[in-house]
Amino acid sequence: MSNVLLDFSEALNQAKGLSGKIQLLLGNGFSIACHPSFKYGTLFEQAKKSGLPKHLEDLLDRYGSNFEDVLKYLDEGVFLAKHYHLKKDKRTNRDMQQDHKQLKEKLIKTISDNHPDFPSKIKKDKFESCIKFLRNFEVVFTVNYDLLLYWASLHIDEEKGEEFPFADGFGRGDDTSDPDCSFSYSSMGTKPYLFFLHGALHLYTRDGHVWKRVWNTTGIPIIQRVREAFNDKSYPLVVAEGRSIDKLKKIESSSYLSQAYRKFKNLQGHIFIFGHSLGDQDDHILNAIVCSEKLKLNYVWIGIYGNPNSAHNKKIIEKAAFLRIKREERIPKRIKSKGEGELNINFFKSNTANIWG
């Protein structure tokens, strides 16, 4: 494992000089780099303004503004209460399981309410830079909930014969009047694919199928449709659980999400990771990298933003080293003797990718 921070172009050229597909995993840093409204701190402040109960505010103040951390602590609290046979105080109406549900719904609603209303709120050249960046990869996965990748797909000059370089598997039959698109893996064709590993605001489940809200068939902004659905107690397909194990349960309960996760586990070659902290709440993602199909995902390129010696980045680097050790433990002797199966980890300066220009 090399701790040398490469420029993104250097990392990409090195990857191209080696065998294997070059794939991408996007985390929240991708969205924050485009628009500050996607920061957890910003979402926390918006949630407070929208009427978050005081005792939940206190939890966020105590444990940090990352909703997922607090959701994880509430999960652990429920387990510990059951384990030690603790009884609820009858003098209070507070309930950890109900608070968990309420906070999860508040997180999703706050992301929706805080989301830019229209693609025009983001400069066109930002989307052009984003598409240019995405074209470097053969497969794209994201754990983000927002509409940025969908909006990017709309910024294609069709008059010049351009197409968005990725297929997401959602489509509409010629004989349907349904305004939305349903998922079918067979409709992805030969294009590189794009998967939302944790769902997204514009995805939802209906009649046992996963659907995608689209703009061009209704003329109604998607965020407006999402907010209207919230008012009807209809929630988007979003994996907002606090613990990795609970996220995985949610993923396995959805045909679309489980398909996306299987594709991620079957990766080979290279994975570039941008804007992801490698936190414990996404251990299911990290385990899929360690235990990739036939151990053939052999190169991990991790974006580091800012000072590599900051506490935040040191945690990322330490977690990356841990992943490498876990892979070492899984390599069979017959493969290891050939020098195969290792997880080669490198780091690049994420700001040099200039994703949004």
Q: 191: domain range?
A: 5-35+120-353
- How many whole angstroms separate alpha carbon 313 and alpha carbon 304? 7
**Looking at the structure, do residues 296 and 194 belong to the same domain, yes or no?**
yes
Residues of the chain with pLDDT > 70, as a percent, come to: 95
Q: Which residue has the higher pLDDT, 83 or 174?
A: 83
The pLDDT of residue 159: 60
Encode pLDDT of 212-268 as tens digits.
999 877 888 899 998 888 888 788 999 988 889 989 999 999 999 999 999 999 999
CA dihedral of residues 283, 97, 66, 153 (deg, nearest 10) = 70
Residues of the chain with pLDDT > 90, as a percent, come to: 57
Among residues 114, 149, 166, which one ends one of the domains? 114
- How many whole angstroms separate alpha carbon 330 and alpha carbon 336? 10
**Looking at the structure, do residues 164 and 236 belong to the same domain, yes or no?**
yes
Helix-helix angle 40-49:54-63, to 10 degrees: 160
Among residues 79, 114, 149, which one ends one of the domains? 114
Beta-bridge mates of residue 171: 182
**Looking at the structure, do residues 181 and 84 belong to the same domain, yes or no?**
no
Average per-residue pLDDT in the chain? 89
**Looking at the structure, do residues 82 and 175 belong to the same domain, yes or no?**
no
**Looking at the structure, do residues 172 and 314 belong to the same domain, yes or no?**
yes
**Looking at the structure, do residues 27 and 51 belong to the same domain, yes or no?**
no
**Looking at the structure, do residues 160 and 55 belong to the same domain, yes or no?**
no
- How many whole angstroms separate alpha carbon 218 and alpha carbon 225? 10
pLDDT band at 303 (very low <50, low <70, confident <90, very high): very high
**Looking at the structure, do residues 107 and 133 belong to the same domain, yes or no?**
no
**Looking at the structure, do residues 208 and 321 belong to the same domain, yes or no?**
yes
Among residues 98, 114, 130, which one ends one of the domains? 114
The CA-based angle 81-240-29, given to 5 degrees, is 125
For the chain, what is the domain count? 2
Encode pLDDT of 19-72 as tens digits.
999 999 999 999 999 988 887 666 677 777 777 788 888 887 887 667 777 888
Encode pLDDT of 19-33 as tens digits.
999 999 999 999 999
The pLDDT of residue 268: 96
**Looking at the structure, do residues 262 and 202 belong to the same domain, yes or no?**
yes
The pLDDT of residue 65: 65
**Looking at the structure, do residues 68 and 182 belong to the same domain, yes or no?**
no
Instruction: Answer whether residue 176 shows pLDDT above 80.
Output: no
**Looking at the structure, do residues 275 and 141 belong to the same domain, yes or no?**
yes
The pLDDT of residue 128: 93
